[in-house]
Amino acid sequence: MRGRPSSHSQAGGLAGLLLLALLWLPFTAHAAKIGDISETSLSEQAWRFLSFEDPSVRYAVGGSLLLGVSCGLLGSFIVVRKMALVGDALSHAVLPGVALGFLWNMTKDPLAIFLGATIAGVLGTGTVSLITRTTRLKEDTALGLVLASFFAVGICLLTRIQRMSVSGQSGLDKYLFGQAAAIGPDDLRLMAVVTALVVVIVLLLYKELLMASFDPGFARVSGFPVAWLHHGLMLLLAFAVVISLQAVGVVLVSAMLITPAAAAYLLTDRMSRMLALAALVGMVSGVLGAFCSFLGNNLPTGPFMVLAASLVFALAFLFSPRQGVVVRWWRQRSRARRTQRENTLKAIYHVLESRGFAGESVSLRELAERRRETIEDVRGQAGELARHGLATLHEEGNQVLLTPGGWQTAASIVRNHRLWELYLTHEARIAADHVHDDAEKIEHVLGEEVVRELERQLDFAKQDPHGRAIPGAEEIHRPFSSGRSDELLGYGKPQ
Amino acid sequence: MKDLIPPFNAQEVLVMPWTDGLANFGWIALMGFLVAAACGLIGNYLILRRMALVGDAISHSVLPGLAIAFLLAGSRGTLPMFLGALAAAVLTTLIIEVIHQKTRVKQDAAIGIAFSSLFALGVLLISLFADKVDLDQECVLYGEIALVPLEPMTTLGASTLGPPSVVRMALVAVVVLALIGLFYKELLVSSFDPGLAATLGINATLVHYALMSMLSVVVVSAFEAVGAILVIAMLILPGATASLLTHRLPRALGWSVLHAALSSVLGVHLSVWLDCSVAGAMVVMGAVLFALVWVFAPEQGQIARLRRHRADATGTA
CA closest to A139 among chain B residues: B50
Which chain B residues are closer than 8 Å to A137 by Cβ?
A: 47, 240, 243-244
Output the pLDDT for position A8. 41
Quote ipTM for the complex.
0.90
Inter-chain CB proximity B119 and A252 less than 8 Å: yes
Q: Is B237 on the interface with A (CB under 8 A)?
A: yes
H or E element that contains A399: strand A399-402
Considering only CB atoms, B120 lies closest to which of A106, A158, A252, namely A252
Q: Is B223 helix (H, G, I), strand (E, B) or coil?
A: helix
Asked if A384 and A344 count as a contact pair (C-beta separation under 8 A), the reply is yes
Interface test with B, best of A38, A135, A332 (most B CBs within 10 A): A135
Output the pLDDT for position A19. 44
Inter-chain CB proximity B284 and A153 less than 8 Å: yes
Inter-chain CB proximity B119 and A251 less than 8 Å: yes
CA closest to A78 among chain B residues: B109
Output the pLDDT for position A169. 61
Considering only CB atoms, A155 lies closest to which of B104, B117, B277, namely B277
Mean pLDDT per 10-residue segment, chain B (317 residues): 71 78 86 93 91 85 87 77 84 87 87 91 84 70 79 75 86 93 89 84 84 86 81 92 92 95 93 88 95 91 88 74
Asked if A292 and A20 count as a contact pair (C-beta separation under 8 A), the reply is yes
Q: What is the value of pTM for the model shown?
A: 0.81
Kindly list the domain boundaries of chain A, sorted by start residue: 4-321, 324-495
Mean pLDDT per 10-residue segment, chain A (495 residues): 40 43 42 42 76 81 93 93 88 91 82 91 92 90 92 90 70 80 87 94 91 88 88 90 88 92 93 94 93 81 93 93 89 92 90 80 86 88 89 85 88 90 86 84 87 86 83 74 42 43
Which chain B residues are closer than 8 Å to A163 by Cβ?
A: 275-276
Nearest Cα residue to B63 out of A303, A60, A123:
A303
- pLDDT, one tens digit per residue, over B9-24 is 777 778 787 877 777 8
Inter-chain CB proximity A317 and B103 less than 8 Å: yes
- Name the minimum distance, in Å, from the CA of B284 to any CA of chain A: 6
Neighbours of A426 (CB within 10 A): 14
- Name the minimum distance, in Å, from the CA of B157 to any CA of chain A: 39
Nearest Cα residue to A63 out of A297, A247, A292:
A247
Inter-chain CB proximity A134 and B302 less than 8 Å: yes
Inter-chain CB proximity A140 and B53 less than 8 Å: yes
Q: How far apart are CA B87 and CA B64, in angstroms?
A: 10
153-212 in B: which are within 8 Å (CB) of A?
Answer: none
Which chain A residues are closer than 8 Å to B112 by Cβ?
A: 84-85, 87-88, 254-255, 258-259
Paired residues of A469 in beta bridges: A463
Interface test with A, best of B49, B63, B71, B141 (most A CBs within 10 A): B141
Nearest Cα residue to B59 out of B42, B76, B71:
B42
Question: CB pairs under 8 A, 24+ apart, for B129-132?
Answer: B129/A33, B129/B67, B129/B71, B131/A33, B132/B70, B132/B71, B132/B74
Inter-chain CB proximity A141 and B236 less than 8 Å: yes
CA closest to B246 among chain A residues: A136
Q: How far apart are CA A219 and CA A215, in angstroms?
A: 6
Q: A324-495 has which fold? A: Arc Repressor Mutant, subunit A (1.10.10)
Q: Is B71 on the interface with A (CB under 8 A)?
A: no
Asked if A281 and A72 count as a contact pair (C-beta separation under 8 A), the reply is yes
Output the pLDDT for position A34. 37
Output the pLDDT for position A189. 92
Which chain B residues are closer than 8 Å to A82 by Cβ?
A: 106, 108-109
Nearest Cα residue to A139 out of A199, A82, A184:
A82
Q: How far apart are CA A206 and CA A204, in angstroms?
A: 6
Output the pLDDT for position A18. 45
Q: Is A469 helix (H, G, I), strand (E, B) or coil?
A: strand
Residues 6+ apart with CB under 8 A from A228: none
- Name the minimum distance, in Å, from the CA of B113 to any CA of chain A: 6
Inter-chain CB proximity A82 and B109 less than 8 Å: yes
Q: Is B246 on the interface with A (CB under 8 A)?
A: no
Asked if A92 and A150 count as a contact pair (C-beta separation under 8 A), the reply is yes
Which chain B residues are closer than 8 Å to A299 by Cβ?
A: 124, 127-128
Q: A4-321 has which fold? A: ABC transporter involved in vitamin B12 uptake, BtuC (1.10.3470)
In CATH, the number for domain B8-145+164-307 is: 1.10.3470.10
CA closest to A34 among chain B residues: B128
Q: How far apart are CA B187 and CA B181, in angstroms?
A: 10
CA closest to B274 among chain A residues: A160
Output the pLDDT for position A22. 44
Kindly list the domain boundaries of chain B, sorted by start residue: 8-145+164-307
CA closest to A319 among chain B residues: B103
Q: How many CB pairs under 8 A join A and B?
A: 213
